[in-house]
Each structure stands twice: as structure tokens, then as C-alpha cells.
Amino acid sequence: MERLAYDIVIVGGGAAGLRAAIAAAETSRSLRIAIVSKVYPMRSHTVSAEGGTAAVLRDYDSFDGHGFDTVKGSDFLADQDAVEFFVRRAPPEVIQMEHWGCPWSRDPDGRIAVRAFGGMTVKRTVFAADKVGFHMLHTLFQTSLKYENIERLDEWFVTQILAEGGKAVGVAALELRSGTLHAIAAKAVVIATGGAGRVYEFTTNGAIKTGDGMALALRAAAPLKDMEFLQFHPTCLPGTGILITEAARGEGGYLINNKGERFLKKYVPEKMELGPRDILSRSILQEIREGRGFQGPYGQYVGLDLRHLGEDVINKKLPMVRELAEEYAGVDPVHEPIPVRPGQHYIMGGVHTDVRGSTGVPGLFAAGEAACVSINGANRLGSNSLSECLVFGGEAGRSAAAYAISQPAVGSNPISGLVKAEEARIFDGLLKREGGENLAEVRSDMQHTMEENVGIYRNGDSLEKALAHVRELRRRYERVGVRDKDPFFNTELTTTLELDFMLDLAEAIANAALLRRESRGAHSRTDYPKRDDANFLHHSMAFRTATGLRFDKLPVKITKWQPAARVY
Amino acid sequence: MADRGTKMIKLRISRYRPERSGEPFDQEFTIPYRDDMVVLDALNYIKDHIDPTLTYRWSCRMGICGSCGANVDGTPKLTCALYLRDLKKRPVLIEPLANFAVLKDLVVDIEPFMEKLEAAKPYIIRKDERPIERGEYRQTPEELELYRQQSLCINCMLCYSACPVYGHDEKFLGPAASALALRYELDSRDQGSEERLAAVATEHGIWQCTFVGECSVVCPKHVDPAGAIQQLKALAATRLMKAMLLPLAPR
């Protein structure tokens, strides 16, 4: 075991983590900052975001407009003070990205262009063709190389947040290419590890999105907030779950059933294809259930029809859609509709923070999809999440910097004792374990039960069943053996640790969903089909205790928009 | 595992287990085949059902994160974007990317690239920074088009694996890092040409390229690094000429 020390350790190298690192680096050049990531930063899943990032940039737009759309989209569960904070800070972040070289698409006069997006009443979504996350990630990563006080520990897997006296004081991390567990001392730790889509079977999320940071924070006494709210994106390729961006509809694409009808006229007549994601995903399921889906090798689907846009618009505005449809569905959208169905895409819940990124645990901050401020409430609007990474990544970076500056110097060797137990857990426990259970089987069981029982629609019975099953899987997990005994670049070991994290989150998700006996945003209880503001206009907070999860409530902050019926 | 009558496919995978031996060895696996399987699906099938010790990188499985490159039947490919049905040879041969040190099985050491990328100064350099309050730098769609192609590099390393120059000179700056240098050179917002060109037009820099062009052939995102290096050479030569002919002129 070796020991390293930094002022700030940022766990995760996606948009939120990189933005936090740069913000901290700019706060003071004397701060030493480390980005600790289980993958090279340019592999982070921000790379797969496609459609855009929302910000009020045009004269016809307003902060109140962006704010209200976001709050309505959230089914009034977003904290309105946080939303107001967010919408005001998004534009300078988008401009900052432009100054750093992000290749935003432009209008003919050279201004940053904007496009329409679901749930946004005006065009306010900034884009770089349909590779927005890719371009943002590479711009942030390449820009981060300029800062001498940002160091990177690439392919280091964080296994634990080290805490002492109720404060976060560093992390334990497995360096893949040496197979060594390190204690990394830090005055402040920022969690920016993204979402947890891999808890589900059918997801747009990459393999790395296993919710590590949420589970790490939960184990370090930080509560998770609103975990019952999962976003199911309406348009994913059947079989793989590969995302076909909402920008395809923002640019004018249609959703059609097997009769060739734009069926959304029955569900969201005012918004049609630009309705919010929760409602569109339910509409697609309904259409399929009523027998108007297409039949394919991976179940039923509907069509995303771009043919009327023409080859030129598709090539200029949606090149990745064409690339993905051709490569992974064998369909050229210029000539044929793309087969699509809803799939897990995003988690609105996450590590509870305030607008400054503080988790409540001294020294521990969080931002991005891993965090829950909450601006997304019960349903996130498309293109708010990349802006969220920029705004709250920056805030968390500055907060961590201010906190680190206020703390005394890290002592000579205060934390090496803390990782002794962690070393024993991993190298003597996990790595030597010869169990009868298979890692991949336990994982796919978890994914299947979450998909079946905690999906777009859920009810008390399905949630009870999921919860009991996940707890059983936790027992089976204890018997999962690791066959690769060499600690060096051991991806069997890290995927086992990821499953450990995901089982914690699956339980929190199912349990929170069971306790919320109403339907709101993306949380649709067939046994409680109505929103119930009298009893459930609150966030759910999950705490880890010695005897299991404990749940509590937190009031929603309402500033200027009173909860009203959500009609589109 | 597989029903009788299930189509099967045989793969030969190059393994390297430093804890066991200093030499790589081949191992064959026969797995159930589906027509819509990509090479990465086959690797995942083996890891999940046959041999969990098989080691490789992957994440997005949609051709954008750049993690999953390997040499398949001798050609560098993204394993998530290569269908088994398109491969004619049996068994399918899967090896780590060439020209990099192998760490374990299909995992190669890309640290040398990370150093080259940083050396190419892949970021906007400004002499004067406009305050954020004054808004964006205007850039027309035509100006954006000038560098758009080079901005599409996903750092997947296929080009380095295909590059014969990099194969015998590990210090060579190489295709992707050069393409990214050009991407910023051609960006109307950038003012750092002098220092960036100085950084890439070095002994092991762009002049080493003999324009074999294999990098552009294997690039999954059509970045054309070979063309980018030729453009950089022209820019560097022009700058050099100007410096010699007009030593006192502003550059």
C-alpha cells in the first residue's frame, strides 16, 4: 500500500469531474488536484451524449422560460431555488465552453446555434451536430491538459471514501496497472462518477456506468435523494439499447406506429414528438400494448421516421443518428424509419447536494448525474443534464477548493491505517474468494428483476418482489468467486466491486419506489396512478444504517411556480 | 449452454498473462453465434460464460468512447463496430493493437499516446482572452467546417496500430496527436500556431511521416490523419519560409 496526498481528489473524469477540476485549478494555482478515474477521461460516458445542452442565449428566451419548463418537466419535484440558480449560470458555462474551443454548431452569422428539444417551449438547446457529449468531453479533457495543478490517476478504481471524525479525508483506490491499493489523502473529495444505468438490462448507458460514486457516498454517510426516479428514453435501438438522440425529433422527426400514424396526437397533441420523455415512453408502451407496434427479433418497437427531413439535414444535423442506425440497426434513416423503443437512460436521483455541491458530509462534494441537487425532480428535460454537469461541476470544484483552502495541511500519515481494512476486504476477502456463484449470472439476474419490476410502470407487488429479490442477490453476491487471482489489471475484480455497488443502488431504487405511493414524472405506479401533492410533494432521502436503509423526507423548495396539473 | 443446432463460431484470442509467463499464447474459444453479433459481444460472452479472466477494455459499445480497439484478423478495428458476419476467416483471430506494449491479454499501454497528445497542445491558445460576459467568438459554419473533420478523433489508437513509422520509432508523434494539433491550427479562435507548430514540427514530429496513409485507411471516424499531417507540414514549411525571408515581420 502506497500513499499519495492532494488538496482535492475528484472521482470521475467526465464532464462534471473535468469541469470541477478546471474550476478548482482556476481558484488557486497552489491547489494540487487529482482526477481519479477508472477509465481514461475521454472514455467517460459523457462521450455518448448526443443531442445538446440547454442555455438561455437568445433575446426571445428568458430565465423564467427555461426555469418554468424545467420545473414543469420535473412534475414540480425540482427545487425551484436550484432551478433558478441553474438557468442563470448555464449561459456563461456554454460561452466558456465556446472559448475553450468546443465546436458548437453555428448560425450563418457565426453565433452559436440552438435547436428545439423535448419539453422546452422555445429553441434553447445548444449543439455540436449530434455528438455534443463527445465534443464537450474532449474539449474539457484537452483543455484540462493546460493546467499544471491538475494531475490524473487514469485507470484507478476508487473502492472507498476514507472518513475520519465524520469528515471525508481521502479515498482508497486500486491502481489497475500495478494491482496496488493506494490511500490517497485529500482535504476535499468530489464525486463525479455519473449514473447507474447498468443496474438495468436495457439501457443506453455504457459498461462503466455502475453508480460507483453513489454507493461510495452512501457508505460514507451521505444520503441518496430521489432514487426512485429513473428516466427511460423513448428512442433506443432494440437489442443493444443504443441511444437515438431526441435531436432527431427536435429537428422534425416523427414517431409512427405500424399503421403509419403519428400516434402521439392521442397522448400529447400540443407537443407531439417534442413532449417530455416520461410521457413519450409511456405512450410508446401503450401503443405497443394495444397492438400497434412492429414486431422484431428483440420484441416490439415503433418507428422513428426521418425520411421527410431529407439527406442533407440528416447529414448536417444528425450524422451520428445515421451512422448508428446504419451500423447497429442496418437501416438508413434517409430511406427507412429507425426501429426504436424506450430504455433506461438517466437517473434523476443521486447523492444529495445543495447548489454548491456540498453533500452535508464535511469535505465531500458531488456533481453531475451522480448528484441530485435537484433540478430534475421526477423527470429531467433533455439537454439539461450536460448543462447541469457544467454548472454544478464548476460549483462543486469551487466549493471543494474553498473548503480545501480552509483546512489545515494534511498530516504526515493520517490515513494509511484507514485502508488496512480495505486492503484486507479486497485482497484477502474478495480476491481469494472461491464461491459457487457466477458474477455475470448474479448481475444479469439483478438487471432482469429491475427491468421487469422497477421499469417504466411499477406497482406495490412488483416493487416488493424486486426488493426481496435484490436482497437475495446480495446474499448470493457474497458467494461470487473471483477466478483471476492476479491483482494486476484485474477487470474481474473491478466488475465484482461494481456489482457490489450496483446491488446497493438497486435496493435503494426499489425501496424508494415502494415508499412513493403516487405517480409523478417518470415514477408511474399502476396502483397509485395520480400525483398526490398532499402526501408526496417531497424528496425521498435514503440513509445507510447498520440495519439497512432508512428513509426520510425533505420538503421541495417552491419559489414562484405553484404545483399545477402537468398538461402538454 | 447452446442448444443442438445452434450455430457456433470459433475465435482465437491472443492472451498475455504476465503473472504466468513472459510470452503471449493463443487460446481458442467456440461460442454460440448470432448474425447480429459484433466482436465485442463475443468477448463479453466469453468473459461472462467461459473465462472471466479474459481482459480487455470497453464501455460505450457504440463506437464513440474509443476503448475497445483490437487487431482482428490482422487489422486494427473497434471491436464494438465489427460484425462477426463480415469476417471470412475461421477461427477469427483477435490480438491486441500492434505497436503498443501489451499489459494483459488485449489491454495495451496507451500512456505513450497520452504524452504525445499533451505535447501537441490540443487546446485553444489565446494572446488575449475575451471576457465571458462579452459572449462567444463568432465562427461561421464555413470556419467550423475547416477543422470539423479533425475534431472527430476518438483517440482509439487504431491509427498508431496501423502506422509503420510508429512501429519502428516509438517517439514519433503519430497520426492522432498530429490530427488534433491541426484541428486547433485550423480553428479561427486559436492564436497559438507558433508554439503548437514548434511543438509538432520536431525531430520525432510530423516530418517523420512518410505518407503511407494506413492511418487514414483504418480510422473509424474518417479523420484522415495522413492528410492532416501533410497539411501540418505545409503550415510549418510556410512558417519557416516566412521566418527566413521576413525575419522581422509579424507572424
What is the Cα–Cα distance from A299 to A287, expressed in whole angstroms? Answer: 14
- Does B20 score more than 90 pLDDT? no
What is the Cα–Cα distance from A385 to A55, expressed in whole angstroms? Answer: 11
- Does A311 score more than 90 pLDDT? yes
What is the Cα–Cα distance from A534 to A538, expressed in whole angstroms? Answer: 10
| Beta strands in chain B, from DSSP E residues, in sequence order | 8-15, 25-32, 69-72, 75-78, 92-95, 102-104, 107-108
Q: What is the CATH number of domain A236-333?
A: 3.90.700.10
Q: Dump pLDDT digits (tens) for B54-66.
A: 999 999 999 999 9
What is the Cα–Cα distance from B139 to A339, expressed in whole angstroms? Answer: 36
A483 lies within 8 A of chain B by CB: yes
Over residues A534-563, mean pLDDT? 98
Please name the residue of chain B whose CA is at the shortest distance from the CA of residue A198: B59
State how far residue A143 is from chain B, nearest Cα, in angstroms: 5
State how far residue A5 is from chain B, nearest Cα, in angstroms: 22
What is the Cα–Cα distance from B196 to A85, expressed in whole angstroms? Answer: 39
Over residues B7-29, mean pLDDT? 95
Q: B-contacting residues of A 19-58, CB under 8 Å?
A: 39-40, 42-45, 47-48
Which residues are within 8 A (CB) of A429 and not within 5 positions of it... i.e. 6 or more apart? none
Q: Dump pLDDT digits (tens) for A325-347.
A: 999 999 999 999 999 999 999 99
State residue A435's pLDDT score.
85
Over residues A407-419, mean pLDDT? 74
Instruction: ipTM value, please give it.
Output: 0.96
What percent of chain A stands above pLDDT 70?
99
A493 lies within 8 A of chain B by CB: no
CB contacts, 8 Å: B184 with chain A: 101
State residue B249's pLDDT score.
58
What percent of chain A stands above pLDDT 90?
96
> A43 vs B67: CB contact, 8 Å cut-off?
yes
- Does A2 score more than 70 pLDDT? no
Q: Quick one: pLDDT band at residue B6, thresholds 50, 70, 90?
A: confident
Calculated CA dihedral for residues B173, B176, B177, B183, nearest 10 degrees: 140
Q: Quick one: pLDDT band at residue B1, thresholds 50, 70, 90?
A: very low
What count of Cα atoms within 13 Å lies in the side-chain half-sphere of residue A409?
4
- Mean model confidence pLDDT for chain A: 96
Q: Dump pLDDT digits (tens) for A495-510.
A: 999 999 999 999 999 9
Rounded to 5 degrees, φ, ψ at B94 are: -120, 120
**Which residue matches cell numbers 435501438?**
A237
A&B contacts, CB < 8 Å: 154
State residue B251's pLDDT score.
47
State which H helix or E strand residue A491 sits in: helix A491-515
State residue A410's pLDDT score.
67
State residue A178's pLDDT score.
95
State residue B239's pLDDT score.
87
- Mean model confidence pLDDT for chain B: 95
- CB of B78 closer than 8 Å to CB of B28: no
Looking at the partner chain, which of B103, B123, B132 has a beta carbon nearest the beta carbon of A92?
A: B132
Looking at the partner chain, which of A43, A47, A98 has a beta carbon nearest the beta carbon of B136?
A: A98
Q: Is the dihedral of CA B21, B23, B29, B34 positive or negative?
A: positive
Q: Dump pLDDT digits (tens) for A76-120.
A: 999 999 999 999 999 999 999 999 999 999 999 999 999 999 999
- Does A123 score more than 90 pLDDT? yes
Fold of domain A2-52+69-103+129-230+346-412: FAD/NAD(P)-binding domain (3.50.50)
Instruction: State the architecture of A417-530+540-555 in CATH terms.
Output: Up-down Bundle (1.20)
State residue A128's pLDDT score.
97
Looking at the partner chain, which of B36, B60, B126 has a beta carbon nearest the beta carbon of A45?
A: B60
Q: Quick one: pLDDT band at residue A413, thresholds 50, 70, 90?
A: low
Q: What is the DSSP string of A47-112?
A: GG--S-EE---STT--HHHHHHHHHHHTTT-S-HHHHHHHHHHHHHHHHHHHHTT----B-TTSSB
Domains for chain B: give ranges and CATH numbers: 8-108 (3.10.20.30), 111-245 (1.10.1060.10)
Extents of the domains making up chain A: 2-52+69-103+129-230+346-412, 236-333, 417-530+540-555
State residue B22's pLDDT score.
87
What is the Cα–Cα distance from B170 to B108, expressed in whole angstroms? Answer: 14
> A101 vs B123: CB contact, 8 Å cut-off?
yes
